[in-house]
Homo-oligomer: A and B are copies of this chain.
Amino acid sequence: MEYKVFCPPDFNEDKYKKMPNVTLKEVTTDGVSPEGFYLTTHMPTYYKYNDNWIIPKSNSLNCVAVLENDTIVIKEIRNLVKGDKVVMGKSRDGQNGVLMYKEGFSKELYEDNGFSVETSFSEEYELLTDLMKREKENGGHIVWVLGPSVVFDHDTRVALVELCENGYVQALLGGNAIATHDLEGGYLGTALGQNIYTQENVPMGHYNHLDLLNAVRRAGSIKKFNDDGHVANGFIKSLTEHNIPIVLAGSIRDDGPLPEVYRNTEKALSAMQEQLDKATLVICLATMLHSVASANLASGYTIRENGDITPVYMYTIDVTENVTRKIAAARELMAVRSIITNVQDFVVNVQKSLIKKEDK
């Protein structure tokens, strides 16, 4: 499968030459932007500085563009510090030195594909597994964004482990619950007190959830808890043992939480941003909260080692259209694909498809 490479504007054209350099204004209060700032989107955007057109390494939604060491970096307003030089002006057609240029991608990448509950997904699965193989072969960075229901199912848990062991997972973004439930499975064989295979309630099973949390908190970290031999199996175990980054963002729904969970939402966002800046493919399953956050944070494109600019595909898989629609809107449709299904079926399908393909 070939990359759909972005085709930059021909900056030798006269009209680009006539466009002015960006205007900059200094931040005077930490975490506050000068008024009149330029607000970023996910789309490939060039900034003219010193008569050169610069594209940042990655971008993000609802941020500001800052000049740093003669290049442009994208910053959240809250992370601005006194003295930062912010790009000004609301237009993005070049007249202020800012040129948003999604037209460099082929049009079908950002057209509405109208996915709905009744869409047929045969082709989507094929596209996704092709993308995953490509990323694996090319040293890509596949980021999985997972809701907790994913690890309630025996087959899915097995499939996630296998995908991890086979090099299809470079980071996990999620919340306290997914790690907690998966660890409960590896520690006590249950998820929220239900036997993870038969779904039957075990006696006093409602204690298992808090018992696990308390036990990991006593150990001090997931890693220590796992090293001590308390975890028989599971996705978190595999990730931990392969040193694959796990970013757990805290929320007000959390019990516990686990020691690694970021209680501070801004720190959580920074840790997520770090993974998503590297992402070449993002797969979001069954979580509105983390999916929308990731859709906002992740760049719409990535710059490959050879200089090629390629789209960052975002797959969103959920059993309701409501979630997938929100993600598509947040990405302004850019390279976003949806599969409306049970996430368990999805994960198992992907695993079977990739393993089978490889065996050949």
Interfacial residues, chain A to chain B (CB-CB below 8 A): 29, 31-33, 35, 37, 39, 62, 77-78, 90, 116-123, 149, 152-156, 191, 196-199, 204, 206-207, 209-211, 213-215, 217-218, 249-257, 263-266, 268-269, 272, 288-290, 292-293, 296, 319-322, 325, 339-342, 344-346, 348-349, 352
Contacts and interface: CB of A to CB of B under 8 A. Distances in A.
B122 A77 contact: no
Contacts of A325: 116
A349 B345 CA distance: 8
Given A254-B265, A321-B322, A341-B345, A123 B198 contact: yes
Kindly list the 5 A-B residue pairs having the minimum CB-CB distance in the complex, ordered from nearest.
Answer: A341-B342, A120-B153, A345-B345, A122-B155, A252-B293
A226 to B, nearest CB: 18
B153 A122 contact: yes
Nearest to A291: B253
Given A77-B256, A207-B39, A292-B253, A344 B33 contact: no
B214 A119 contact: no
Given A31-B217, A120-B152, A252-B269, 19 more contacts: A29-B218, A35-B214, A37-B214, A62-B210, A62-B255, A90-B204, A118-B152, A119-B152, A120-B153, A120-B154, A121-B344, A123-B154, A253-B296, A263-B266, A265-B265, A319-B340, A340-B342, A345-B349, A349-B349
A199 B119 contact: yes
Contacts of A39: 206-207, 210
A199 B127 CA distance: 13
- Max chain B C-beta neighbours (<10 A), residue from A35, A39, A122, A252: A252
A123 B199 contact: yes
Nearest to A158: B122
Nearest to A272: B252
Contact of A251 (B32, B217, B289): B289
A357 to B, nearest CB: 14
- Max chain B C-beta neighbours (<10 A), residue from A77, A214, A346, A348: A214
A197 B253 contact: no
Contacts of A339: 342
A78 B341 contact: no
B250 A265 contact: yes
22 contacts: A31-B217, A32-B218, A35-B211, A77-B256, A90-B204, A117-B149, A117-B319, A118-B149, A120-B154, A120-B196, A120-B199, A122-B154, A123-B197, A251-B251, A251-B265, A253-B289, A253-B296, A263-B266, A289-B289, A319-B340, A341-B342, A341-B345
- Max chain B C-beta neighbours (<10 A), residue from A199, A211, A213, A339: A199
Nearest to A325: B116
A13 to B, nearest CB: 27
